[in-house]
Amino acid sequence: MSQQTGTQPHQHYIAGEWTDGSGSETFASENPATGETLAEFQRGTADDVDAALEAAESAFEEWRGLSYIDRAEYLWDIYHELRERHEELGEIVSQECGKEISEGKADVTEAWHMVEWAAGNARHPHGDVVPSEVANKDAYMRRKPRGVIGCVTPWNFPVAIPFWHMAIALVEGNTVVWKPAEQTPWCGQIIAEMFEDSGIPEGVFNMIQGYGDAGAAITDDERVDTVLFTGSAEVGQEIASKVGGEPGKLAACEMGGKNGIIVTEEADLDIAVHSAIMSSFKTTGQRCVSSERLIVHEDLYDEFKERFVEIAEDVAVGDPLEESTFMGPAIEAEHVEKIEKHNELARKEGADVLVDRFELEDGEIPDGHEDGHWVGPFVYEIEYDTDLRCLKEECFGPHVALLEYSGDIEDAVEIHNDTPYGLAGAIVSEDYRQINYFRDRAEIGLAYANLPCIGAEVQLPFGGVKKSGNGYPSAREAIEAVTERTAWTMNNSKDIEMAQGLSADILTRED
Ligand code: UN1
């Protein structure tokens, strides 16, 4: 963090200036692996959001007037900075959100991939030439920026997801007011410094640090034309329903999942176990694409269970900065409590618990990390029943159910689809017919075969169906959310000729 010295709380970035804003409260960023305070931040108020929106609104006309390519230049600067500071930023991500170091670095890599996509796309066509019924008409689909984009991003990808939203919004000619997650304001601070370093015109990019009240002040404001939200289903649904009632405003929300992996009787077990472990425990189960349901055919069930349980008993939980760690801590104390409640719910509903490392053993917690928010894998088996809440509600932790099924792929997909969510999922099978059935019938936005259901690349659409969202947040689809289309038709003739055979004759009383 470079803009301040001493121990003053870090500030908001509004209209090209660092400012304390109008609030008197501050909040701390905490290292979830140690409980230590990393830095203090100003807590944004509705007045701060108001100032940021005003700045974004006044900067819009000039910014939209630049060419795509000129706008992208600012993003290219950030791209280079992300790459040059890869190691350093990866460590900061790991320190602030507890992901193990390869994941901390991958977060930064995913960020520059998105910036590269958005800035590179500035030189690609942005519309269509569309045929007209009338030979003398030229018709096009052209895009315009929508205006001010309000971005609210989660802590689990504190560098990548902000760029999913903002890189595209900005290159397309919009201005931005962004609230980073309150758990990862340090990453927010660094990203804001990068925008400052890039020399982006004042007011084009604005950042308010704070909590949900500041986020709501952004998303509720009528000056915001599009809300880009990635986070919990509860908040996302509230935003989507409020915004849905406001004509002309759009909310693109990407929320959680109760993701599943199907292991059929035709599966390669090595791939099945590997994919399931990655999907359930990477990021300590705190990806919206993490898997909490493993739907396994009876022919392979016992062997799969034995192998999965053996590894789940053993995955290395520990200091996220150590390369030997597989799983870091949970993000915060309240989240550990939430995970515990989900574990309890499964038990109450009749789960047979196979692995319970919720309380880690003393030796597992690294020295100096006693105040971290530690939690280990929880694996249970339960007979599938549509009324079980534990199979429907997202835990967002290393909590996973083993479900045995019999019958065909149709039966497995029926269980798979029996959740209100529809984000990610995978099938493990060597039979292409089963794979293709899953591809076509699984109710999800991100579907994988013979792979984990985590780890999507930025150039693909990302997003879900059902309660998981409306499928917008990254790459081409995000462009839909931050631009308006114009159908632009021009006549090359001096005569007016209409489509659909409509007469262009003007008849008067004399005719
Ligand atoms: C999230 O899970 O919250 O597909 C985002 C992935 C990452 C993004 C995940 N590229 O796992």
Model pLDDT for residues 24-51, shown as the tens digit of each residue: 999 999 999 999 999 999 999 999 999 9
59 has pLDDT over 80:
yes
Q: What confidence score (pLDDT) does residue 473 get?
A: 73
Is the pLDDT assigned to residue 3 strictly greater than 80? no
Q: Tell me the average pLDDT of the chain.
A: 96
Look at 153-167, 180-194, 416-430, 468-482 and tell me which has the smallest mean pLDDT. Answer: 468-482
Mean per-residue pLDDT for 348-359? 98
Q: Are 310 and 275 in contact (CB under 8 A)?
A: no
Residues 60 and 161 sit within 8 Å (Cβ to Cβ): no
Q: Is 231 left (phi over 0), alpha (psi -120 to 50) or beta?
A: left
Q: Each residue of 187-199: pLDDT tens digit?
A: 999 999 999 999 9
Q: How far apart are CA 297 and CA 458, in angstroms?
A: 32
Cα–Cα dist 378/358, whole Å: 6
What ligand 1 atom has the least distance to the C-alpha of 156?
3
411: three-class secondary structure by DSSP: helix
Cα(439) to centroid(ligand 1), Å: 19
Instruction: Report whether pLDDT(184) > 70.
Output: yes
pLDDT over 70 (residue 156)? yes
Q: Which of 112, 157, 230 to mutate to test the pocket of ligand 1 (most atoms within 8 A of CB)?
A: 157
Mean pLDDT of 225-230: 96
For residue 305, what are the CA distances in angstroms to 87, 239, 272, 309, 425? 37, 40, 11, 6, 19
The reported pLDDT for the residue numbered 6 is 56
CA of 357 to the centre of ligand 1 (A): 24
**What would the 3-class secondary structure string for 460-497 be?**
CCCCCCHHHECCCCCHHHHHHHHEEEEEEEEECCCCCC
Is a pLDDT exceeding 60 seen at residue 354? yes
pLDDT class for 131, splitting at 50, 70, 90? very high
* DSSP tag of 158: T
Domain ranges of the chain: 12-255+469-487, 259-459
Listed range (24-28, 127-131, 251-255) with the worst mean pLDDT: 251-255
Residue matched to tokens 């780890």? 455
- In degrees and rounded to multiples of 5, residue 16 shows phi and psi of 75, 10
User: For 334-338, 388-392, 478-482, which range has the lowest pLDDT when averaged over its residues?
Assistant: 478-482
Q: How far apart are alpha carbons 155 and 158 in whole angstroms?
A: 5
Q: Where does the pLDDT of residue 11 fall: very low under 50, low under 70, confident under 90, or very high at 90 and above?
A: very high
Q: Which helix (H) or strand (E) holds 101?
A: helix 101-121
The CATH classification of domain 12-255+469-487, taken from the options 3.30.1490.390, 3.60.110.10, 3.40.190.10, 3.40.605.10: 3.40.605.10
- What's the whole-model pTM score? 0.96
Atom 7 of ligand 1: nearest residue by CA position: 455
Query: With left for phi above 0 and alpha for psi between -120 and 50, is residue 234 left, alpha or beta?
Result: alpha
Alpha carbon of 225 to ligand 1 centroid (Å)? 26
424 CA: nearest ligand 1 atom = 4
Residue whose CA lies nearest to ligand 1 atom number 6: 455
pLDDT at 383: 98
Q: Could you say which of 97, 151, 187, 288 is catalytic?
A: 288
Position 468 pLDDT exceeds 60: yes
Atom number in ligand 1 closest to CA 254: 3
Q: 46 to each of 60, 166, 213, 249, 376, how far by Cα in Å?
A: 21, 21, 8, 20, 39
210 pLDDT higher than 50:
yes
- Dump pLDDT digits (tens) for 262-306: 999 999 999 999 999 999 999 999 999 999 999 999 999 999 999
Q: Name the 3-class secondary structure at 333.
A: helix
| Residues 439-476 as b or e (16 or more Cβ within 10 Å = b) | eeebbbbbbbbbbbbbbbebeeebbbebbbbbbbbbbe
- At 480, list the tokens: 């839909």
Residue 211: pLDDT above 90?
yes
Note whether 488 and 141 are within 8 A (CB): yes
CA 454 to ligand 1 centroid distance, Å: 6
- Best mutation site among 156, 289, 292 for ligand 1 pocket (most ligand atoms within 8 Å of CB): 289
Of the candidates 254, 265, 394, 443, the residue annotated as catalytic is 254
The CATH H-level (homologous superfamily) assignment of domain 259-459 is: Aldehyde Dehydrogenase; Chain A, domain 2 (3.40.309.10)
- Spatial contact of 456 and 448, defined as CB atoms under 8 Å apart: no
From ligand 1's centre to the CA of 181, what distance in Å?
16
- 424 Cα: distance to centroid of ligand 1 (angstroms): 10
254 is catalytic: yes
Distance 93 CA to ligand 1 centre (A): 15
3-state DSSP assignment of residue 257: coil
State which H helix or E strand residue 196 sits in. helix 185-198
Enumerate residues lining ligand 1, CB below 6 A. 110, 156-157, 287-289, 454-456
Looking at residue 321, its pLDDT comes to 97
Q: What is the mean pLDDT of residues 73-98?
A: 98
Pairing verdict, β 205-207 and 226-230: unpaired
17 is catalytic: no
CA of 456 relative to ligand 1 center, distance in Å: 6
Residue with the bigger pLDDT between 475 and 354: it is 354
DSSP assignment, residue 159?
T
Ligand 1 centroid–CA 468 distance in Å is 13
> Is the model's pLDDT at 5 over the cut of 90?
no
For residue 320, the model assigns a pLDDT of 97
Name the residue of 114, 454, 457 whose CB sits within 8 Å of the most ligand 1 atoms, as the mutation to test its pocket. Answer: 454
Whether 148 and 225 have beta carbons less than 8 Å apart is answered as: yes
Q: Other C-beta atoms within 10 Å of 174: how many?
A: 25
pLDDT confidence of residue 511: 85
| 3-class DSSP state of 429 | coil
